[in-house]
């Protein structure tokens, strides 16, 4: 090959490569004077009150920024991630929300999903479109790392582009599992029964709890899945009790059978402590758990109002004044921070999807209204631990923060 031919091939290759890169950059940049942020939140089911507060927090953060970032107007579009009668989120609705965001040429970011594994549906869609996704509260471990106990559930399946475009504002469910098990060991539990529901949240959490329990204790001696049929509760609990556990974990979301489940556990395993994941707290706090036993604790990644820094308490007061008492929930601060993070990324990167993803992931240490946190390269955060709640007289009462 002559030197002249080699030069021509190199130049041609560079032109082709440059054309491809230019085309990719052009797709990443958004034309026009308006950028859109989509938010996917359930308006029905157990998480609806928290979701309404999160939406209020997002609106307040956008309002505080004057509705602009990076020299562009920012439009917030909130979509329903649920259908009437559903306990949590509905997969088809979540998929439709993410597809709508991906199909909109003005989309710069997507806020969601709220909780309980909904992001497993939307992340692959927003990732393929190169859109930043920030979750205010979804701790599903497999979104950011391979969960113990589920070796085939690695995060690579959520990122078809090969690049991470997701981050969350709460610790992973694996952190919650490890915190819960540490409490059980400290209480002297040596034989553990694991009860979980059929949601992706409950199944993945149960597998992680079992894997970590096999490694660190207490010994996991039994596990059962609760599919929502209340009349099956006695048989499920009898099956667990047959293995003589002296502690029980419930990994699932609150539902019509939650109170009966707890009471039945208490009847068959009197005195055995019950450790519940955050899903059990997703219920109307005005309605007490019927026939509620003692010895039930639950763990939440959301910091309660009593532990918030001064900035958080001020923001809650502003939410109450602006949007009403129902907006002044701690969950609203996570919506507020999700929007703040997006706006800061847009301010740094401008109307460019790839640039916004990179800028958001580069915001290492943040000082939010709920406290400081650090963003890891995986999309996980180092945050302020978990809130411990104890069931008293049928209601969950905050006890203390666990670091």
Task: List the domains of the chain with CATH numbers.
Answer: 34-170+308-382 (3.40.50.2300), 174-300 (3.40.50.2300)
Cβ atoms of 132 and 353 closer than 8 Å: yes
Cβ atoms of 285 and 313 closer than 8 Å: no
**Residue 191: strand, helix, or coil:** strand
Indicate whether 19 pLDDT > 80: no
pLDDT at 12 (0 to 100) = 41
C-alpha 339/C-alpha 319 separation (Å) is: 15
Cβ atoms of 165 and 130 closer than 8 Å: yes
pLDDT of 267-282, one tens digit each? 999 999 999 999 999 8
**Which token pair is 109?**
């970011």
**Residue 403: strand, helix, or coil:** coil
Give the distance, in angstroms, between the CA of residue 130 and the centroid of all CA atoms in the same chain. Answer: 20
pLDDT at 310 (0 to 100) = 97
Return the residue matching tokens 């999903």. Answer: 113
**Which token pair is 251?**
């990994």
C-alpha 184/C-alpha 125 separation (Å) is: 39
Give the confidence band of 25 by pLDDT, cuts at 50, 70, 90. Answer: low
Q: Among 45-54, 160-169, 359-368, which stretch is predicted with the lowest mean pLDDT? A: 359-368
pLDDT at 364 (0 to 100) = 79
Indicate whether 125 pLDDT > 60: yes
Q: What is the DSSP letter of 338?
A: H
pLDDT at 2 (0 to 100) = 43
Give the confidence band of 3 by pLDDT, cuts at 50, 70, 90. Answer: very low
Rg over alpha carbons for the chain, rounded to the nearest Å, is 23
Give the confidence band of 15 by pLDDT, cuts at 50, 70, 90. Answer: very low
pLDDT at 26 (0 to 100) = 64
Side-chain-side CA neighbours of residue 161 (13 Å): 17
pLDDT at 256 (0 to 100) = 83
Mean pLDDT, all residues of the chain: 91
pTM: 0.92
Task: Characterize the bridge pairing of strands 191-197 and 219-226.
Answer: parallel
pLDDT at 91 (0 to 100) = 96
pLDDT of 74-86, one tens digit each? 999 999 999 998 7
More confident residue, 122 or 151: 122
pLDDT of 237-252, one tens digit each? 999 999 999 999 999 9
Determine the average pLDDT of the residues in 385-396.
91
Indicate whether 89 pLDDT > 90: yes
Neighbouring-strand partners of residue 370: none
Question: Would the CA dihedral through 378, 300, 134, 365 be positive or negative?
Answer: negative
Determine the average pLDDT of the residues in 107-116.
97
C-alpha 76/C-alpha 321 separation (Å) is: 21
**From its phi and psi, is residue 229 left (phi > 0), alpha (psi between -120 and 50) or beta?**
beta
CA proximity to 116, closest of 86, 146, 145: 86
pLDDT at 292 (0 to 100) = 65
**Residue 188: strand, helix, or coil:** coil
């Amino acid at each position: 090959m002559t030197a002249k031919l080699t030069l021509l091939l190199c130049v041609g290759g560079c032109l082709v490569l440059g054309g491809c890169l230019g085309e990719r950059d052009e797709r990443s940049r958004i034309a026009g004077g308006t950028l859109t942020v989509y938010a996917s939140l359930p308006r029905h089911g157990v998480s609806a009150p928290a979701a309404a507060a999160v939406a209020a927090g997002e609106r307040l953060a956008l309002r505080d920024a004057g509705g602009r970032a990076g020299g562009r107007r920012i439009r917030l579009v909130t979509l329903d991630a649920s259908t009437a009668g559903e306990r949590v989120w509905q997969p088809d609705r979540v998929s439709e929300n993410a597809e709508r965001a991906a199909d909109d040429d003005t989309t710069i970011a997507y806020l969601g999903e709220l909780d309980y594994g909904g992001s497993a549906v939307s992340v692959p869609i927003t990732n393929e479109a190169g859109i930043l996704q920030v979750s205010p509260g979804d701790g599903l471990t497999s979104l950011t790392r391979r969960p113990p106990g589920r070796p085939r559930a690695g995060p690579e399946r959520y990122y078809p582009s090969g690049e991470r475009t997701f981050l969350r504002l709460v610790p992973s469910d694996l952190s919650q599992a490890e915190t819960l098990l540490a409490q059980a060991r400290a209480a002297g539990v040596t034989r553990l029964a694991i009860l979980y529901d059929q949601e992706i949240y409950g199944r993945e959490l149960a597998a992680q709890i079992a894997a970590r329990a096999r490694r660190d204790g207490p010994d996991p001696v039994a596990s059962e899945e609760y599919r929502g049929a209340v009349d099956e509760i006695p048989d499920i609990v009898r099956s667990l009790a047959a293995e003589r556990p002296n502690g029980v974990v419930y990994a699932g979301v609150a539902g019509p059978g939650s109170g009966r489940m707890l009471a039945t556990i208490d009847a068959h395993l009197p005195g055995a402590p019950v450790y519940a994941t955050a899903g059990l707290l997703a219920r109307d706090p005005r309605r007490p758990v019927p026939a509620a036993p003692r010895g039930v604790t639950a763990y939440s990644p959301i910091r309660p109002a009593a532990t918030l820094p001064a900035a958080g308490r001020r923001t809650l007061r502003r939410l109450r004044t602006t949007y009403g008492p129902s907006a002044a929930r701690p969950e609203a601060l996570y919506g507020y921070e999700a929007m703040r993070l997006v706006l800061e990324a847009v301010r740094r990167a401008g109307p460019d999807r790839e640039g916004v993803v990179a800028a958001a992931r580069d915001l290492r240490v943040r000082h939010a209204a709920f406290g400081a946190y650090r963003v890891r390269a995986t999309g996980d955060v180092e945050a302020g631990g978990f809130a411990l709640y104890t069931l008293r007289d049928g209601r969950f009462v905050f006890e203390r923060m666990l670091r």
